[in-house]
C-alpha cells in the first residue's frame, strides 16, 4: 500500500538570482551549482524554522521525551556518482540508505540547532525533548521522479517519522514493508501531528485525509504552497523498508527543483486514546497457538557467458531485476529487486510452496539447472520448480528459533541480445577523462555505427546525460564514430578523432557490462562503456 503526500518547493527569488549569476560568471557544472544552492537554502532555512503552538488536533500519545532520540544522518554526504548508498548504524538500528533517479538526485544529512527554533515552539519540543533536529535532505534538480530507500537490516520499532516540506504541487509517494517483507497498509499508521513551520500560524485545513485508489491507500493534500511544513506519523508495526518517491506535478515556469526532509525519532509512548480498563478476573488461560515459521529466500541472478550453470568470475551480475515469489496456495505474488551485485532476498515468507523467477519472464531464458540450492530456473520456462518451505526443508539455515534462511537459489540467465554503449562528456580540465562534478554528459551528439566493412548501418544521438546505445546488434566486428561538433575536439587519448575501432560484439568479450534493467533497452549485455570527452577549442 502507499501513502502519497503533496508538497511544493518554491525557492526565494534572491537565491535563484544569486546562483544564476554564479553560474554565468563561474561557468560551473549545473549540478554543482544546484548542489550549492541546495546547501545554501538548507542552511538559511535551518535558522528560520518555527514550529507553531496551534495544531489541528492534540498529540495522541504520552511520551517520555527524555528517551526520544533522532537518527543521526551526519555521515551522509552528497555524491554525484553511482552507486549512491550509505550504511549507517544508529539507535540500535542498522540501515542502508540509497538514492536513485534521473539527473543525480542528492541526499545530505544535516542538523538544526534546537536553540535556534525553540522560541514559541515549546509544544513540539515537549513532544521530542529539547535536542537538535537531525534530518536527511532529499533534493533533485529535475522534475523526474527520484527515490530514497531506507532498508532496515534490523527492523525499525518504536520510531516516529517526520516529513518536512509538504505542500500542494509536488508529490511524495511512500511505500513500506513489515518485518516479514509484506506490504504495509498505511491507513493503519497514526498521524500524530502536522503544522506549518512559519510564524503566521497553522492553517487548520492544511491536510485533508481520504482513502484513494482502493483499500489501504491514503492521500494527504496540502492547501498551502509554503515549503516549511511538517507531518509526524507513527508506524503501528515493525518496519523493514520504507521507500519515498519524489516527483513534481507543478507547471513551468514555477518549477524550481524538489526538496524534502526526513527525520526519524526513536522513542516509546503510551497510547491515550483508549482508557485503561479496570482490573477484572483473569480468564481461564487458553493454549498458545503453535509458533509461526518465517523464511528468507536468497540468491543471485547473473548472465552465464559460457552457459555452464555456475557463476564464474567473468559472469556479470544483473542489477535491478525484479524477482517474483508466487505462493502456490493462493497465487499471491511478492516482488523484490536485485542489488548492484545481482543479489535478491525475499524476507518473511510463511510456510508454503513458492515458485521463483523474473517478474517479466517472457523472452528470458536460463541455462543449466543444477539443483535445489544451485541454479533454480527451468530452462524451458525461466521459472523455478516449486520450492517447499517448512522447518524440515533441506538446506535451511536457522536464524532464530522460528526464522530460517534458504540461500543459493540462483538464476543463470542466457545472453541473447548484445549492445554497444558509451558516453560523450565535457572535459573542462583537458585531462582526457570525465571528472566527477567538474564534467558532465553532453546530449544531442550524433553517433554512427559501422560494420567491419566500414558500412554505415545505424545512427543515434546521445541522451540521458550524454549516454548513447546501439541496442540488439548481431554478433560481429564494429566501429563507432562520435561526430565531434565544430569548435570542439576530442581529448580522449584512445579516441583522438572520436572514432572507436575494433569493437568485438560477442558474449565472451571481457570489455562488456550488464545493461541495467528497466531503462527500455533490450540488450542483456553491452560492449563498453566507451567514453569520449570533448573540449571547446579556444582560438
pLDDT value, residue 461:
94
Residue tagged 533490450 (cell numbers): 522
The three cell numbers of residue 17 are 538570482
Residue 174 C-beta-side C-alpha neighbours within 13 Å: 27
Per-residue pLDDT tens for 84-136?
678 787 767 788 888 888 767 788 888 877 777 666 666 677 777 788 888 88
Question: Mean pLDDT of all residues in the chain?
Answer: 75
pLDDT value, residue 54:
29
Low-confidence ranges of the chain (pLDDT < 50): 1-33, 35, 37-61, 198-227, 271-276
What is the secondary structure of 32-48 as a DSSP string? Answer: HHHHHHHHHHHHHHHTT
Structural domains of the chain, ranges and CATH numbers in brackets: 2-271 (no CATH), 294-413 (2.60.40.10), 418-536 (2.60.40.10)
pLDDT value, residue 301:
92
Cα 532 → chain centroid: 29
pLDDT value, residue 40:
43
pLDDT value, residue 476:
93
Question: What is the chain's percent helix, strand, coil content, to nearest 5?
Answer: 10, 45, 50
pLDDT value, residue 205:
31
| pTM for the structure as a whole | 0.48
Pairing of strands 403-406, 294-303: parallel
Per-residue pLDDT tens for 183-235?
787 777 877 777 655 433 333 233 333 333 333 334 444 444 444 577 888 88
Amino acid at each position: 500500500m502507499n501513502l502519497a503526500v503533496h508538497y511544493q518547493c518554491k525557492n526565494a527569488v534572491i537565491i535563484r538570482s544569486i546562483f544564476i549569476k554564479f553560474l554565468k560568471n563561474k561557468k560551473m557544472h549545473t549540478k554543482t551549482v544546484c548542489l550549492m544552492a541546495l546547501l545554501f537554502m538548507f542552511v538559511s532555512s535551518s535558522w528560520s524554522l518555527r514550529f507553531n503552538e496551534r495544531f489541528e488536533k492534540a498529540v495522541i500519545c504520552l511520551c517520555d521525551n527524555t528517551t526520544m532520540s533522532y537518527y543521526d544522518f551526519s555521515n551522509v554526504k552528497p555524491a554525484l556518482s553511482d552507486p549512491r548508498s550509505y550504511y549507517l548504524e544508529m539507535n540500535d538500528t542498522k540501515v542502508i540508505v540509497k538514492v536513485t533517479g534521473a539527473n543525480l538526485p542528492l541526499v545530505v544529512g544535516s542538523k538544526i540547532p534546537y536553540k535556534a527554533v525553540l522560541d514559541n515552539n515549546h509544544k513540539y519540543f515537549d513532544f521530542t525533548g529539547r535536542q537538535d533536529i537531525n534530518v536527511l535532505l532529499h533534493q533533485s534538480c529535475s522534475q523526474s521522479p527520484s527515490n530514497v530507500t531506507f532498508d532496515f537490516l534490523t527492523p525499525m520499532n518504536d520510531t516516529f517519522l517526520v516529513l518536512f516540506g509538504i505542500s500542494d504541487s509536488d508529490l511524495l509517494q511512500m511505500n513500506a514493508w513489515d518485518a516479514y517483507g509484506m506490504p504495509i497498509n498505511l491507513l493503519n499508521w497514526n498521524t500524530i501531528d502536522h503544522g506549518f513551520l512559519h510564524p503566521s500560524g497553522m492553517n487548520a485545513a492544511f491536510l485533508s485525509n481520504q482513502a484513494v485508489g482502493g483499500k489501504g491507500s491514503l492521500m494527504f493534500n496540502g492547501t498551502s504552497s509554503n515549503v516549511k511544513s511538517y507531518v509526524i506519523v507513527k508506524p503501528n508495526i515493525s518496519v523493514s523498508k520504507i521507500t519515498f518517491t519524489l516527483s513534481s506535478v507543478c507547471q513551468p515556469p514555477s518549477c524550481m527543483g524538489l526538496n524534502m526532509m526526513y527525520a526519524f525519532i526513536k522513542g516509546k509512548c503510551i497510547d491515550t486514546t483508549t482508557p485503561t480498563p479496570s482490573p477484572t478476573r483473569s480468564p481461564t488461560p487458553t493454549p498458545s497457538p503453535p509458533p509461526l515459521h518465517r523464511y528468507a529466500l536468497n540468491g543471485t541472478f547473473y548472465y552465464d557467458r559460457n552457459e555452464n550453470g555456475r557463476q564464474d568470475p567473468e559472469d556479470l551480475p544483473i542489477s535491478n531485476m525484479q524477482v517474483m515469489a508466487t505462493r502456490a496456495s493462493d497465487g499471491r505474488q511478492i516482488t523484490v529487486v536485485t542489488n548492484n551485485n545481482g543479489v535478491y532476498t525475499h524476507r518473511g515468507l510463511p510456510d508454503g510452496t513458492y515458485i521463483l523467477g523474473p517478474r517479466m519472464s517472457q523472452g528470458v531464458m536460463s541455462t543449466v539447472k543444477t539443483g535445489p540450492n544451485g541454479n533454480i530456473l527451468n530452462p524451458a520456462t525461466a521459472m523455478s520448480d516449486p520450492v517447499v518451505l517448512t522447518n524440515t526443508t533441506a538446506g535451511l539455515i536457522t536464524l532464530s528459533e522460528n526464522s530460517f534462511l534458504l540461500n543459493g537459489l540462483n538464476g543463470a540467465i542466457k545472453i541473447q541480445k548484445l549492445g554497444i554503449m558509451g558516453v560523450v562528456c565535457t572535459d573542462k580540465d583537458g585531462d582526457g577523462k570525465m571528472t566527477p562534478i567538474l564534467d558532465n554528459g553532453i546530449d544531442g551528439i550524433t553517433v554512427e555505427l559501422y560494420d567491419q566493412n566500414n558500412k554505415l548501418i545505424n545512427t543515434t544521438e546521445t541522451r540521458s546525460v550524454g549516454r548513447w546505445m546501439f541496442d540488439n546488434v548481431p554478433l560481429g566486428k564494429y566501429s563507432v564514430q562520435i561526430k565531434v561538433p565544430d569548435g570542439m575536439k576530442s581529448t580522449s587519448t584512445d579516441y583522438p578523432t572520436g572514432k572507436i575501432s575494433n569493437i568485438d560484439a560477442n558474449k565472451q568479450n571481457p570489455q562488456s557490462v550488464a545493461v541495467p534493467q528497466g531503462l527500455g533497452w533490450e540488450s542483456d549485455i553491452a560492449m563498453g562503456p566507451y567514453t569520449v570527452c570533448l573540449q571547446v577549442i579556444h582560438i
